[in-house]
A = this chain, B = another copy of it.
Amino acid sequence: MLAVMLADIGARARLAARTLAETTSAQKNAALEAMAARLEKSSRAILSANAGDLERASTEGIGGALIDRLRLDERRVAGMAGGLRKVAALPDPVGVMTGGWRLPNGIQLQRVRVPLGVVAVIYEARPNVTADAAGLCLKSGNAAILRGSSYALHSNQAIGEALRDGLAEVGLPMEAVQVMEDTSREGARQLMQAKEWVDLLVPRGGPRLIASIEAEATVPYVIDGAGNCHVYVDAAADLDKALPIVLNAKVQRPGVCNAAETLLVHEQVAAKFLPQAAAELGEAGVALRGDSLARELVPAMGEATEDDWATEFLDLVLAVRVVSNLEEALEHIRRYGTGHTEAIVTEDRAAADRFVAATDSAVVVVNASTRFTDGEEFGFGAEIGISTQKLHVRGPMGLEALTTERYVLYGDGQVRAG
């Protein structure tokens, strides 16, 4: 029964994707503007649906952080509309020729960027993702199947209706954006395995969602994995740079994936750097957990367990280890890192080069904060997530991550000889 419904959704998405693939940038941008205007016009209906979701969530005893993410207000609705207009202003990734050459036999070869087709997004109780994901999918020429949290269903449906009205207004198929009514786990599982309908699955959520995708998905997906990010302060570090970098990487926004979780300090500078860093981090509310050498220098520090090295705290907690050389830092990162972002602070070009060459992470940073691993910071204009996998796309994902390339050959009757 559910599978039948998913097949309907999938078939409609496939049909809409066919239209979107041939839709011009001007039409897509007009749709994004119309969708933004409809969101603003439907603000009252969206907030009323959201009030209902909030009430149901609170009667189910849902906690504060989730409620905060679930809650919409005028400002957040305006933020969604603004996001769509910003996506309209970005360059269209579709149709870009990424390569072209003439074969010896005269055939003209072109490699061209095209939409993937149908993109499914599974996300948690953040209704703004409905608008954000729909906008990014539309701009990149893909039909979107949006499966949000059951807690946000009515909010998502109200947002979805406004977006679909915007599509219809400019003559594009409403089925280009579909909000799934079925928010059961079984429904999610079926979506993860709908190979016939889904060209890419993008999960936007925490470790439990990622684990479920990794265990159950058979459709192609790109994951936004954990960021157990390291900052290594080298023997040749300029400590006046190191201190602000460590503080920024840990404190500026501790709950995100590009925040630092472990500080590695070369023993030659540890005695000078660590007490000062501990004082400033402590003032910022950071709890430190150190190895024995770090605790000799800063006795007030807690003791780091084996688990601490492997933990993405996403909180004001920092593990601290003193290493005897660069290689020991690299070995630690290889053992505990998640391949997201690692930073080195050093004035020694050879040490920086060795760190870059020997670190197998999506982003390696020399003398700056790990927090720069971000699509907006990189200049992509919008970010779908940060990939920690190696295939298809790695690091911050912009609109191009929602496209693929194909070849077009123009000949004049050529046939192959051998």
Contacts and interface: CB of A to CB of B under 8 A. Distances in A.
Contact of A392 (B241, B363, B373, B391): B391
Contacts of A117: 360, 390
B412 A404 contact: no
B390 A391 contact: no
A258 B223 CA distance: 33
Interface stretch (A244-252, A261-269, A280-288, A317-325): A244-252
Contacts of A405: 394-395
A250 to B, nearest CB: 11
Interface stretch (A4-12, A29-37, A145-153, A364-372): A364-372
Given A362-B406, A391-B404, A406-B363, A378 B103 contact: yes
A369 B415 contact: yes
Counted per complex, copies of this chain come to 2
A299 interface: no
A372 B409 contact: yes
Interface string A13-37: 0000010011000000000000000
Interface in A81-137: 101, 103, 107, 109, 114, 116-117
Nearest to A368: B411
Interface residues of A, number: 66
Given A357-B21, A360-B21, A371-B415, A407 B378 contact: yes
A249 B414 CA distance: 11
Main secondary structure of the interface of A (DSSP, over half): mixed
A353 to B, nearest CB: 10
A244 B369 contact: no
A416 B378 contact: no
A361 interface: yes
A182 interface: no
B371 A416 contact: yes
A408 B366 contact: yes
A409 B365 contact: yes
A361 to B, nearest CB: 7
13 contacts: A21-B358, A103-B372, A109-B378, A248-B415, A363-B406, A366-B409, A367-B412, A368-B410, A368-B415, A369-B416, A371-B415, A372-B409, A392-B392
